[in-house]
């Protein structure tokens, strides 16, 4: 009997060690690969006319969650949808690196609570610092530090944008160098750990864009996918005022209709929607109504059109361009941008190296070259140059 127990103990130890090796060594990459699929693999072929035009453009994307995953973004990867080499291949000049600090289990676009925390397990498997397990603010700051570290090790290929001067210097360099500028955003103000005072911590870490909520209601404001879907709270209103005073863009992606209205009622500067679809071409709870689109444009804001099926009801660049055309017809080309949601646990038609396919699809929608330049990056660059801190 003792011998059997001893053998059983050894087997259990071996199995436990095997589980630890799998959990810490292989699980993060497997999770990312399963959650961020690409429908059409590279290389991508656009028309000659589109390629020539695309190379002249300053392309900007308002949303990618690439810092969440345990990849070296300085190296070209066979998994995921964004890294610096592929940004350069796609001629993407400016990329918003948006940080996810918490998501609910069984995530959906209709109703989620804040009771579960998928990112806790991902952070544990990635061997993040122990303080990240209990603090969403620490998770955000840790991801921001990764972007700064990538920039330091990139030999100048990646520049972090935090001020108007940073942006101006980057754009001047971009005239003669193929480089990428990255700026930091946050999905959901739960990253404040319930304290408006932590906004300064996040600002100091380099964040220049944040939404009041993500997939669940927060202490700052309701989510379109939460249980109560309320508007801005008193804390949330103070957060919006401080954000705009600091030069941080208010992102209304995922906001409940009431929270969106509340933000627009007190906003003194343009707001953005970093990644969304529009109900005019894809009618569901995730996407924005015509009235909401008009209200956002009225602030001088910019609407980033997403690339995934729930946003565009399609799986190709043509579907992205169709949503862009609808939005531009409604509110004007000055208020439309790209908001891919790359690496955001969504299936997309192509990775970032295929950005020229959107240029081609916009040509096919009969946009002029001047309009395409605005949509593909000019509008995003304008709103950054006007609203970043000095």
In a domain, 16, yes or no: no
Q: Supply the pLDDT for residue 342.
A: 98
In a domain, 23, yes or no: no
In a domain, 273, yes or no: yes
Digit-coded pLDDT (tens) for 151-160: 999 999 999 9
Q: Supply the pLDDT for residue 32.
A: 81
What would the mean pLDDT of 328-351 be, rounded to a whole number? 97
Distance, in Å, from the CA atom of 224 to the CA atom of 30, rounded to the nearest integer, reads: 30
In a domain, 28, yes or no: no
Q: Where are the alpha helices (DSSP H) in the chain?
A: 2-25, 27-35, 48-56, 84-89, 118-125, 136-152, 164-174, 198-204, 234-246, 257-266, 290-298, 309-312, 317-331, 356-364, 369-373, 379-387
State the CB neighbour count (10 A cutoff) for residue 48.
Answer: 9
State the CB neighbour count (10 A cutoff) for residue 299.
Answer: 18
Distance, in Å, from the CA atom of 232 to the CA atom of 238, rounded to the nearest integer, reads: 9
Average per-residue pLDDT for the chain: 94
- Look up the pTM and report it: 0.94
For residue 232, the domain's CATH number is 3.20.20.140
Q: What percent of the chain has pLDDT over 70?
A: 93
In a domain, 362, yes or no: yes
Q: What is the CB-side half-sphere exposure of residue 130 using CA atoms within 13 A?
A: 0
Q: Supply the pLDDT for residue 27.
A: 63
In a domain, 341, yes or no: yes
Could you tell me which of 316, 386, 380 has the C-alpha nearest to residue 64? 380
What would the mean pLDDT of 269-296 be, rounded to a whole number? 98
Number of domains in the chain: 1
Lowest mean pLDDT among 15-24, 315-324, 371-380: 15-24
Its domain, for residue 303, covers 36-387
pLDDT at residue 177 tops 60: yes
Digit-coded pLDDT (tens) for 59-84: 999 999 999 998 999 999 999 999 99
Cα 325 → chain centroid? 22
In a domain, 12, yes or no: no
In a domain, 14, yes or no: no
């Amino acid at each position: 009997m003792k011998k059997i127990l001893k053998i059983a103990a050894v087997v259990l130890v071996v199995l436990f060690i095997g589980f630890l090796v799998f959990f810490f060594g292989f699980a993060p990459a497997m999770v990312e690969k399963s959650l961020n699929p690409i429908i059409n693999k590279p290389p991508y072929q656009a028309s000659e006319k589109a390629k020539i035009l695309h190379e002249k453009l300053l392309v900007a994307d308002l949303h990618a969650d690439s810092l969440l995953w345990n990849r070296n973004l300085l190296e070209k990867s066979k998994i995921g949808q964004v890294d610096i080499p592929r940004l350069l291949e796609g001629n993407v000049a400016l990329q918003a690196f948006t940080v996810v600090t918490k998501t609910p289990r069984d995530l959906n676009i209709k109703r989620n609570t804040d009771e579960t925390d998928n990112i806790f397990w991902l952070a544990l498997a990635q061997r993040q610092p122990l303080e990240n397990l209990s603090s969403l603010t620490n998770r955000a700051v840790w991801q921001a530090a990764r972007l700064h570290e990538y920039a330091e090790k990139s030999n100048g290929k990646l520049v972090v944008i935090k001020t108007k001067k940073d942006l101006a210097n980057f754009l001047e360099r971009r005239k003669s160098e193929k480089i990428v500028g990255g700026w930091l955003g946050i999905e959901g103000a739960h990253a404040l750990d319930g304290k408006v005072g932590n906004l300064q911590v996040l600002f100091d870490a380099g964040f220049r864009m944040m939404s009041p909520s993500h997939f669940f209601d927060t202490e700052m404001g309701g989510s379109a996918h939460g249980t109560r879907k309320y508007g801005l709270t008193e804390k949330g209103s103070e957060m919006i005022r401080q954000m705009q005073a600091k030069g941080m863009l208010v992102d209304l992606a995922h906001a409940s209709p009431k929270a969106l209205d509340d933000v627009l009622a007190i906003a003194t500067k343009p707001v953005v929607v970093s990644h969304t679809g529009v109900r005019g071409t894809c009618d569901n709870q995730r996407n924005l109504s015509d009235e909401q689109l008009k209200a956002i444009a009225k602030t001088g804001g910019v609407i980033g059109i997403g690339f995934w099926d729930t946003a565009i009801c399609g799986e190709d660049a043509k579907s992205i361009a169709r949503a862009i055309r609808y939005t531009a017809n409604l509110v004007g080309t000055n208020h439309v941008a790209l908001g891919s949601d790359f690496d955001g646990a969504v299936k997309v038609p192509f990775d970032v190296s295929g950005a020229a396919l959107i240029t081609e699809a916009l040509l096919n929608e009969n946009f002029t070259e001047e309009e395409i330049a605005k949509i593909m990056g000019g509008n995003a660059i304008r709103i950054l140059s006007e609203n970043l801190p000095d």
